[in-house]
Amino acid sequence: MTAPLTVHFARTEFDPLIGAAGRVALMVGPDGKLGAVARRLDRATRGAIRRALEGKAWDKLKTGEALDLSYPSGLTAEAVQLVKLPRRATVAEARKAGAAIGRALGEAGAVVLAANHPRAADIAFGLTLRAYDFSLYHTADTPAKGPVTMLVDDPEAVADKAAPLTALAEGVCFTRDLVNEPANVLTTSDFADRLVAMREIGLEVEVLEEPALEKLGMRALLGVGQGSESPSKVVVMQWTGGKKGDAPFALVGKGVVFDTGGISIKPSAGMEEMTMDMGGAGVVAGVMRTLALRKSKANVVGLVGLVENMPDGRAQRPGDIVRSMKGDTIEVINTDAEGRLVLADVLWYAQERFKPTGMINLATLTGAIIVGLGHENAGVFSNDDTLCAAFLKAAAAEGEGAWRMPMGPAYDAMLKSRLADMKNSCGRPAGSITAAQFLRRFVRDEVPWCHLDIAGVALPPKETTLAPKGATGWGVMALDRLVRDMLEG
């Protein structure tokens, strides 16, 4: 995987700043006041820092934004970066400030003066996430970014506070790697192998192959992948850091490693981005990695259905009727509405085997959610107000956009099929809602459940505050926060 940038913490001193080869970044409050070490640096630059802070450009900056002084006299650094950040900054503002440094970071690295800023760990976290770069397939050498040293008054205390955020950054970057990988590399088998490798960090990982899935009756899932040379699989990841014997919370992800639409083939324009249709499974994997790395005191099980949806002589056809693991029959109206077929069986299996205390599934499920919410928010659907509120609170705390969408009997009625218990697609009207209603049929009434439609946020068309253009890893931070707040107490 792409190793996240490591930020090293050292005690606040002047010499690392004056001798820095790359960038020097200073956290400065809106009032422009400088601490003792920063004042020494200003004198070394013959007052260039003070002049910049007294100019109009600084006044126009918003919190978390930065102003560059290129090749300042008196220093070896290529730039001094003045980052506007008050001492009472929010978590989001501190991460944005760190991201401003990470965005500009080059191979010469940076020395960041944070001194006694209470949000130093979050500054480092934002820097790490924004410095991410997926350049594995560039044949020209791509210099690695960094190193980065952050100067703080109490490096040991800041390092302790940053440790769980370092684990979280690795989980986010793991998810980004998975979503960014091309489908000829990230096959169902390769995906499963990467998850099996997480046994090394303490996860219990089990791979269910096609014969086992057939025996379990997962014919909805198997139908999706029957036109592909890549075998369909379900991977189960267990983390048991909580009380022994307590039922786990379940995370379920859609893992369509490539989606042509099957026989209901998609238009060619933009189809190359369907490598991201395993984004839900990628998020589940990233969360499980984070929980293991930070030794979470919770019991969580992650389940992902890995398939490839291809047109072939053996492929599923519109009009086919399949029987799910639950026993319900499904008329396949559109083979491009395949993700819900995968999730239906995995959701039911999760409940049958693990009797979870609650369940959240994630999927790049519908284009309709992008029509409704754009690339700013994921759609949240739920049968339980308490769980839904807890997730929305966690998402807001982590700055990951999420918006609750409606469900109800009127939408459920749209799933009626003449030939089977239900159909898998109801056409364009309320497309994201009817997809959620379909999934709801495979969730027991007593199980608190949320469905997260992440089609718009997994691979947005432009960079975000904490991510370069490409995969964002949306959801890893929110779900890790949910586990901490709801399951770890």
State the DSSP code for 186: S
Q: What is the mean pLDDT of residues 56-64?
A: 96
Query: What pLDDT, on a 0 to 100 scale, did the predictor assign at position 277?
Result: 98
| Average pLDDT of the segment spanning 313-320 | 98
What is the per-residue pLDDT across 66-122, written as a single tens digit (0 to 9) for each? 999 999 989 999 999 999 999 999 999 999 999 999 999 999 999 999 999 999 999
**Is residue 15 very low, low, confident or very high in pLDDT (cuts 50, 70, 90)?**
very high
> Regarding the domain delimited by 186-487, which CATH topology (the fold level of the hierarchy) does it fall under?
Aminopeptidase (3.40.630)
8 Å CB contact between 411 and 401 = no
Name the band, by pLDDT with cuts 50, 70 and 90, for residue 62. very high
Q: List, by residue number, the catalytic residues.
A: 266, 340
Between strands 329-331 and 422-423, the pairing is: parallel
pLDDT of residue 89: 96
- So what's the pLDDT on residue 92? 96
- Kindly report, residue by residue over 172-204, the tens digit of the pLDDT: 999 999 999 999 999 999 999 999 999 999 999
- Domain 7-158 superfamily per CATH: Leucine Aminopeptidase, subunit E, domain 1 (3.40.220.10)
How many angstroms separate the CA atoms of 224 and 258, rounded? Answer: 11
Give the span between the Cα atoms of 437 and 406, in whole angstroms: 10
Residues of the chain with CATH 3.40.630.10: 186-487
Report the SS3 class of residue 229: coil
In the chain, ranges of CATH 3.40.220.10 domains:
7-158
3-class SS at 240? strand
Whether the pLDDT of residue 489 is over 80: the answer is no
pLDDT bracket for residue 4 (50, 70, 90): confident
Confidence band for 323, pLDDT divided at 50, 70 and 90: very high
Q: Is the bond into 147 cis (omega within 30 degrees of 0)?
A: yes
